[in-house]
Amino acid sequence: MVPTLEDVVRITGLRVDGQAVTGTTYTSYQEPVERLLVLAVRGERSSLVQRTVLQASMGVASVRRQTGEGQAEYMDRMTEDARAAMAEEEGDAADRDLRRFLTLVIGKLILGTKGDPVGCRCLPLLEDLSSVGNYAWGAALLAHLFDSLGTSSRETGVAGFFPLLQVWAYYHLPSLGRGVARRRGAVPLLHCWRFCRDERSLRCQVTLIHDTLDTIPFGHVRWTPYVGEDDATQPWVERGRPYFGRDIWLHCFNTVVPLHHRLVARTLGLHQAVVEFPTRQRPGRSFRGIQQVTDWTVRVREQLDDWEQRGKEVVSEATSDEDYFRAYARRYGSQVYKGTRRSRAELDRAQQMVGGASSSREDPGRSVLEGQLASAAARAEDALAQLREWEQELRTALAWTTTLEAEMAELRLRPEAAEVARWRQEAEAATRWQQEAAEAALWRQEVEEAARLHAEAGDLRTQLGEERHRSDMLRSQMKGLERALALVGRSRSVTSRSGISSGSAGHYLTSSSGRQRNEEEE
């Protein structure tokens, strides 16, 4: 069982016909966000914008989802507040506010992410506001939801518009009892339901849901819940009817997902033919491109042509579902029909499907062995199919890798203008750094020269001090000589009076003064 395009259009009212939601994806959405929304993206290479910033730009920053408020009520209240705020704008300002509102609705609800920021990959499609209503946003919602659903039991978060799965379960699995019908006849059908609040712990609720799913009888599933709906009041359903019940590729920008109705024909209310249920095999693989500049209208031309041709109609030549139930029991009997949770009647019916009604009553052991043999044969065939699938996947991955390598080589040879500008800025910065390094080396040399001159000046000051000291000593010696000469003059007069000849005295003074002069010169 899978949700279909019919489920999407009936539950949400979103369009599932028209142009596929695809185009060119970019590594950065900074330019369109700044130009069309006059806001800033979360990062330079990001496609996210803060939700609070987006709501504040529309004047609805205080709008919070209240406790017990359903998704429809919350959207109605937020729409009214936004409409009141945008009514005050006109011209370019009104277009800007409308793009902000559409970005919030599409990026947070229809193509929502697990975190709080809002994706703005849809912004290039909002540049021409007159063509926004021509896109199949409902088909994009289903593709995004399929791609976001995890296969691990440890998965704790789900992206996309999860209320679609909830209301889908209300109609197809009423035994779960998770919803309460409040407005019968309202369309889209999302308006008919109020989520059933359960005060029990999450672990307890999950356990109860698992048990209920394991015990739902075959006949309690509603395969065609929309029989009797008044389609005349739902023109969006009539427009999407040519896309119902067809194998088709769903598009959501860089996400392309196959919708294979032929594997789940009972979802369409048809008799299901016998099909194998391999654990991994899936005809046609969904793929999701990396976030780079890619024109998906060219990259997935074959899948886009399939969408424009409305896929391929699903028909069933099976006349009953007994073969389908029998194959289902053989494949999953050992997994589903065990323990005490299944009713005795259901277990008997499963054994009848495996070994036949009469034989199961006469020899239960034989039917069990036949079922085990059939299950082993099915597993062997499944393993062989898996090996073939893995071989094909390896070849596909090799071809995909070769294509990516060629594209990356081309990208390296043709750098983007932004990268060229960045490289030029880096080169200019490197040149400035080289100039600054040369100036720094010159300053270092001047500092070293100044230090040397400072040292030489210190040496000169030291020598000058020594010279001054010597000069002071010479002055003191000259004063001593002057005193000695004065004493000699006085002694000469005394000698002449005492009879000593003046010639001998003069010779003594001459010789004494000569020796003194030689010592001073030395």
pLDDT in tens, 313-363: 999 989 988 888 787 777 766 555 444 444 455 555 555 544 443 333 344
CA dist 301 → 23, 283, 298, 304, 316 (Å): 11, 19, 5, 5, 29
What tokens does 470 get? Answer: 């010597």
Long-range contacts of 277-282 (CB under 8 A, 24+ apart): 277/327, 277/328, 277/331, 277/332, 278/382, 278/385, 278/386, 278/389, 279/382, 279/386, 280/386, 280/389, 281/382, 281/385, 281/386, 281/389, 282/258
Average pLDDT rounded to a whole number, residues 386-404: 75
Respond yes or no on whether the N-terminal peptide bond of residue 415 is cis (omega within 30° of 0).
no
Beta bridge partners of 250: 257
Distance, in Å, from the CA atom of 140 to the CA atom of 22, rounded to the nearest integer, reads 9
Higher pLDDT, 342 or 138: 138
Residue 28 is assigned to a structural domain of this protein: yes
Residue 226 is assigned to a structural domain of this protein: yes
Average pLDDT rounded to a whole number, residues 5-19: 95
Higher pLDDT, 433 or 515: 433
Residue 354 is assigned to a structural domain of this protein: no
CA dist 384 → 203, 304, 374 (Å): 38, 32, 15
Residue 323 is assigned to a structural domain of this protein: no
Average pLDDT of the chain, as a whole number:
78
Residue 265 is assigned to a structural domain of this protein: yes
Average pLDDT rounded to a whole number, residues 87-101: 85
pLDDT classification of 301: cutoffs 50, 70, 90:
very high
Residue 45 is assigned to a structural domain of this protein: yes
10 Å Cβ neighbour count for 266? 17
Higher pLDDT, 292 or 224: 224
- The domain tally of the chain equals 1
Q: For residue 80, what are the domain limits?
A: 5-312
pLDDT classification of 236: cutoffs 50, 70, 90:
very high
pLDDT classification of 114: cutoffs 50, 70, 90:
confident
Beta bridge partners of 258: 249
Position 362 scores a pLDDT of 41
Average pLDDT rounded to a whole number, residues 245-249: 94
Position 164 scores a pLDDT of 92
Q: Under a CB-based contact definition with an 8 Å cutoff, are residues 35 and 270 in contact? A: no
260-273 pLDDT per residue, tens: 898 889 899 999 88
Place of tokens 């009514």: 87
Distance, in Å, from the CA atom of 162 to the CA atom of 155, rounded to the nearest integer, reads 14
Give a three-class secondary structure readout of 238-305: HHHHHHCCEEEEEEECCEEEEECHHHHHHHHCCCCCCCCCCCCCCCCCCEECCCCCEEHHHHCHHHHH
Residue 271 is assigned to a structural domain of this protein: yes
Position 287 scores a pLDDT of 57
Residue 406 is assigned to a structural domain of this protein: no
Position 358 scores a pLDDT of 37
Position 259 scores a pLDDT of 93
Position 504 scores a pLDDT of 47
Q: Which of 26-30, 49-53, 111-115, 376-380 has the lowest mean pLDDT?
A: 376-380
> DSSP class of residue 387?
H
Q: With pLDDT > 90 as the criterion, what percentage of the chain qualifies?
A: 22
What's phi and psi for 3, nearest 5 deg?
A: -65, 145
Residues with Cβ within 8 Å of 263's Cβ and at least 6 positions away in sequence, in order, are 275, 283
Average pLDDT rounded to a whole number, residues 203-232: 84
Higher pLDDT, 65 or 106: 106
